[in-house]
Structure 1
């Protein structure tokens, strides 16, 4: 089914600024099925399929430019909605392993403050949880947190959390966010930033069985956008090595969602020998992806500038990818943030809410997955430029910025009471034996005509593999 004018315009938002040929690429793109009705005013389904399709078209084009077959890409409109929340529909030996269990923690929701405004704290990790409870001076129960938040105004809590280097925001309207200095900084920023940071000779890649085969991706990410970005690249053949420390493990349900197609090794940023090994891995790779707040990697000598300056002679150039919450400029650039907070401050939560109480979008998540697919698109665009003109590149995407993009799209309007999961049902799933057991997960969403999406590896426990690269051209 051909793309509508609205669908082409949404793809143009992504592809045109990255220098990717919209007119040519969309001749190979097709959507099937009907857009499902959703209980939201946001163009949720359009945002999802545009982000997934943009990434898939860029991947297919990259493969063709390195001598692979020209491919058509198709995507089901109903299935694409689930690309925003596939971690809600996974199981191990038939037991539900949904990521929603972590989102149900007492600290991860909306509370009404003294002034009647709403405040959203986050306690995703033990350190954030303990810090938040210390600032709130209360027990970790919904009732205790509600009583504590009600003692002060919402903006006071936001400032107190920021001062303590914690994550929590006051819920705002769209107009309030657009008037806020951070909202203004993001409105002036590209949806996806790709910038050359060093010159180099062109580095065309040899032909390969899959579009991204032979590329090395070093994954320094944590929940959720960053690991989904690298999982997306792994779908078409990269050697992805995820690095984590034993003391900073993501929850198991998140590992089952984000770990497809990756090997996983333990290294600790705070051990000098491990840090040096990380640098060697980065300097012998093609892509480095990190999703910590701005400034964190600089402290370890792993920023784009640090690594590019240390590249050995003859290195083809590095693509350094950063995913964060609030962007690289503005007063909030260094603050901690999460998906739920991006929905809270941009006006999404208020607009989704009923009777004045904010709520999340029907899929629960939005920005994490949009940022992942859009960031992967930017990564591939940077790799194309490296092949064509040479050099090293910085890629950046932020949760709040992609949320703002989704707010600017035109949707069909709210279908009040429409169910989710949608009436059309879940898209196809795959089953794979793994070190965790028999896993069931939604299959890759984009359909490539010549190289069907697949992950060479199922998720594995952190630290299962040695921190080393495979030989070039060898898939995991």
Structure 2
């Protein structure tokens, strides 16, 4: 099917969330030339997902007593924001390398390809132990010649590591997890408890006064929190001192947030999080489905502790199916669900080819923000506690459904010079940053980040006054 425009894709999102279609008249998403080299409508995905989050913020402000306003999203700017981590500069220099030396695709002994993800030390060390090889690409490639791709994928999953075999779309569609993902809604918003509507008095910014506990890592969830912060929320990101991080991603997605550390395995820190949750409006987490349940932070427990909460969850493969609890990242979901195979074919190659952005991560982040604000609006009108669920794999299926454009493979890959009009300078706790500003332009409440990026653990575990 021909690729949809961003405006058409936004209309799909709005309908999926059962929102008033008249609001779409206030969204301006002009079409243009494909902004990135891909056979998929990555530009429309960027424009629509960013546009949905911004239009929903504008509508929430209107519900709070603000005036109706227009939202404009430039196509090329949206595509640049989908690759914000690539364009980040710290004190004029590129940010440190994101990816580990052995991460990437390899051919197995049966001729099929796998992709390994080793950007966290414990994942890297586990892969090296499994393969009994050195930390270099040649050694990994030689070791994988002794494996069949699907058997390696399963062995990795059993050890809690992260790698996937490359599948075609047809193979993914026939896989039990592919079928489970296809049965899920793109954006799952459901009521999980009773509570009276919470008062949301007028504020100068759309989401000002909203408190968000952000327990997410890497790209997708942190992009969602960064988006909420761009419209005025008090985002308190909670990380664990036990867990590794990827500093350039923390710098890029940390704009607008405060950062605190808690170790939820310690009783005192768990109690601190409960006190924060009791005064929060949103709890967003990106751990594997069920991972927080034993610690007392599942959706139902959160709703009892804070009636009226919006509890948002992000997962790799969705909350249903045999892979629901499997660890995953954008690059691995692309590989498992057919994108690497399809892009390779479109460009005339055989080796797995990734999309020209961490598109599933970024889109899922904006969809998460969109769903959270839509749920806040429902809470304000109807009462109740609400759950929002988004996954990378279901977001990928939506990208497929937006259609393909083989001619877009010839689009130029924009470098730093091409995206310069959308870069701003920021002071930060890491030095002077140059980074992509938010692509959504609201006519009455311009999006911006009031706080600078700061190192993890820089702030106290407490809320700011409303």
TM-score bucket (shorter structure): over 0.9
- What's the RMSD between the two structures over aligned residues? 1.7
- State the partner residue of 1:385: 378
Deviations 1:328-370 (A, max 9, x none): 110000110000011101111011114211111123x110000
Deviation at 1:5, TM superposition (A): 7.6
- State the partner residue of 2:199: 204
Deviation at 1:310, TM superposition (A): 2.7
- State the partner residue of 2:319: 328
SS at match of 2:271: helix
Of the three residues 297, 300, 310, the one matched with 1:302 is 297
Matched, 1:163 2:158: yes
- Contact kept, 8 Å, 2:7 with 2:29, in 1: the verdict is no
Give the 5 Å matches for 1:3-82: 6-22=5-21, 24-32=22-30, 34-36=32-34, 38-82=36-80
In the superposition, relative to structure 1, how do residues 287 and 247 fare at CA in structure 2: closer, same or farther (>3 Å)? same
SS at match of 1:294: coil
Deviation at 1:417, TM superposition (A): 4.1
Name which of structure 1's ranges 248-257 and 183-192 shifts more when overlaid on structure 2: 248-257
Name which of structure 1's ranges 423-432 and 89-98 shifts more when overlaid on structure 2: 423-432
Give distance in 1, aligned partners of 2:325 and 2:145.
27
SS at match of 2:427: strand
- Contact kept, 8 Å, 2:36 with 2:413, in 1: the verdict is yes
Give the 5 Å matches for 1:130-209: 130-209=125-204
SS at match of 1:140: coil
In the superposition, relative to structure 1, how do residues 56 and 305 fare at CA in structure 2: closer, same or farther (>3 Å)? same
- Contact kept, 8 Å, 2:87 with 2:416, in 1: the verdict is no
- Contact kept, 8 Å, 1:204 with 1:388, in 2: the verdict is no
Deviations 1:269-289 (A, max 9, x none): 111100110111112100011
Matched, 1:265 2:260: yes
Deviations 1:267-325 (A, max 9, x none): 111111001101111121000111011111112111111211233xxx5x100111110
Matched, 1:339 2:338: no
In the superposition, relative to structure 1, how do residues 83 and 214 fare at CA in structure 2: closer, same or farther (>3 Å)? same
- Contact kept, 8 Å, 2:6 with 2:43, in 1: the verdict is no
Deviations 1:210-253 (A, max 9, x none): 00000000011111111110110000100010111223242210
In the superposition, relative to structure 1, how do residues 431 and 6 fare at CA in structure 2: closer, same or farther (>3 Å)? closer
Deviation at 1:403, TM superposition (A): 0.8
Of the three residues 95, 105, 115, the one matched with 1:120 is 115
- State the partner residue of 1:90: 88
SS at match of 1:264: strand
SS at match of 1:308: helix
Deviations 1:179-230 (A, max 9, x none): 0000000101000111100012122310000000000000111111111101
- State the partner residue of 2:98: 102
Give distance in 2, aligned partners of 1:73 and 1:422.
26
TM-score, reference length from structure 2:
0.96
SS at match of 1:102: coil
Name which of structure 1's ranges 275-284 and 424-433 shifts more when overlaid on structure 2: 424-433
Structure 1, unpaired ranges of 5+: none
- State the partner residue of 2:368: 375
Give the 5 Å matches for 1:393-408: 393-408=386-401
Give distance in 2, aligned partners of 1:133 and 1:305.
39
Deviation at 1:6, TM superposition (A): 4.3
Deviations 1:45-78 (A, max 9, x none): 1111111111111110001110112110111111
Give distance in 2, aligned partners of 1:5 and 1:83.
20
- Contact kept, 8 Å, 2:81 with 2:437, in 1: the verdict is no
Of the three residues 210, 225, 229, the one matched with 2:224 is 229
Structure 2, unpaired ranges of 5+: none
- State the partner residue of 1:466: 460
